[in-house]
A and B are shown apart, each in its own frame.
Chain A
Amino acid sequence: MIEAQGLTKTYGGKTAVYNLSFTVQPGVITGFVGPNGAGKSTTMRMILGLDEPTSGTVTVGGHPYRRLPNAPRQVGALLDAKAVHGGRSARNHLRCVAQLSGIPQRRVDEVLDVVGLREVAGRRSKGFSLGMGQRLGIAGALLGDPQILLFDEPVNGLDPEGILWIRNLMKKLASEGRTIFVSSHLMSEMAVTADHLIVIGRGQLMADMSVRDFINTHSASYARVRVPDGEQAAREKLSAALTEQGAHVQPEDDGALRVGGMPLPRISDLAHDADIRLWELSPHEASLEEAYMRMTQGAVDYRSTADHRAGLQQAGPVPPQGYAAPGPGYAPPMGAPGMPPAGPGVPQPGPGVPGMPPPGVQPGYAPPPPQGYAPPPPPAAPQAPAGAAAPAPREGETRR
Chain B
Amino acid sequence: MSYPPQPSAPAPGAPPVPGAAPGRFPGAGPGLAPPPGTPAGGGYSSPIPIVRTHLGHAFASEWTKIRSVRSTMWTLGIMLVLVVGVGFLIALAMATDDWVGAPLLSGGLFGLMLGQICIVTLGVLVITSEYGTGMIRTTLTASPQRWRVLAAKAVVFFVLAFVLTTAACAITALIHSSVLSGQTVPEYEAGDPMFKDSVSDSGELIATGGQWFDATVGAALYVSLLGLLALAVGAILRHSAGAITTMVGFILLPLIIALFMQAESLRDVQRKLIEYSPLSGLASLFGIPFFDDADMGGWGLLGMLAAVTGGMLLLAFALLSKRDV
Contacting residues of chain B (37-53) with chain A, CB-CB under 8 angstroms: 38-48, 50-53
Check A61–B42 contact: CB distance below 8 A: yes
In the complex, the number of residue pairs spanning A and B with C-beta atoms less than 8 Å apart equals: 260
Given the contacts A88-B69, A178-B44, A179-B42, A70 and B138 also touching, CB distance less than 8 Å: no
Chain B residue numbers with a CB within 8 Å of A97 are 61, 138-139, 142
* Chain A residue, CB-CB nearest to B323: A52
Residue A377 CB within 8 A of the other chain: yes
Q: Is there a chain B Cβ closer than 8 Å to A203's Cβ? A: no
For residue A130, CB closer than 8 A to chain B, the reply is: no
B57 within 8 A of partner (CB):
yes
Inter-chain contact A178/B43, CB cutoff 8 Å: yes
Which residues of A lie under 8 Å from residue B14 when comparing CB positions? 216-217, 376-377
How long is the Cα–Cα vector from A318 to B10 in the complex, in angstroms?
Answer: 44
Please pick, from A79, A102, A216, A267, the residue contacting B134 in the complex, using a CB distance under 8 A. A79
User: Is A327 in the interface zone, CB < 8 Å from B?
Assistant: no
Q: Counting CB contacts under 8 A, is A23 at the interface?
A: yes
Closest to B2 in A: A25
In Å, the complex CA distance between A83 and B47 comes to 27
A99, B48: Cβ atoms under 8 Å? no
For the complex, is B29 an interface residue (Cβ under 8 Å from A)? yes
Interface size class of A (residues with CB under 8 A): 35 or more
Residues from chain B with a CB closer than 8 A to the CB of A144 are: 46
In the complex, what distance in Å separates the CA atom of A95 from the CA atom of B61?
A: 8
Q: Which of B42, B47, B60 contacts A99 (CB 8 A)?
A: B60
The 4 closest A-B pairs by CB, nearest first: A177-B43, A211-B31, A27-B38, A221-B23
Q: Provide 28 A-B residue pairs closer than 8 Å at the C-beta atoms, listed in order of the A residue.
A: A26-B38, A28-B34, A28-B35, A83-B136, A85-B129, A95-B64, A96-B62, A97-B61, A99-B61, A101-B143, A144-B46, A147-B42, A147-B43, A175-B35, A176-B44, A177-B38, A177-B42, A191-B31, A212-B29, A213-B31, A221-B21, A222-B23, A223-B23, A264-B23, A285-B25, A334-B6, A334-B8, A377-B14
Q: A102-B51, A177-B43, A178-B44 are in contact. List 6 more A-B contacts (CB 8 A).
A: A1-B42, A73-B48, A82-B134, A96-B65, A103-B48, A285-B24
Residues of B within 8 A of A (CB): 1, 3-4, 6-11, 13-17, 19-25, 28-35, 38-48, 50-53, 57-58, 60-62, 64-65, 68-71, 129-130, 133-146, 149, 322, 324-325
Q: Which residues of A contact B (CB under 8 A)?
A: 1, 21, 23, 25-28, 45, 48-52, 61, 65-73, 75, 77, 79, 81-89, 92, 95-97, 99-104, 107, 140, 144-148, 175-179, 191-192, 194-196, 205-217, 220-223, 259-264, 266-267, 283-285, 288, 333-335, 376-377, 379, 399-400
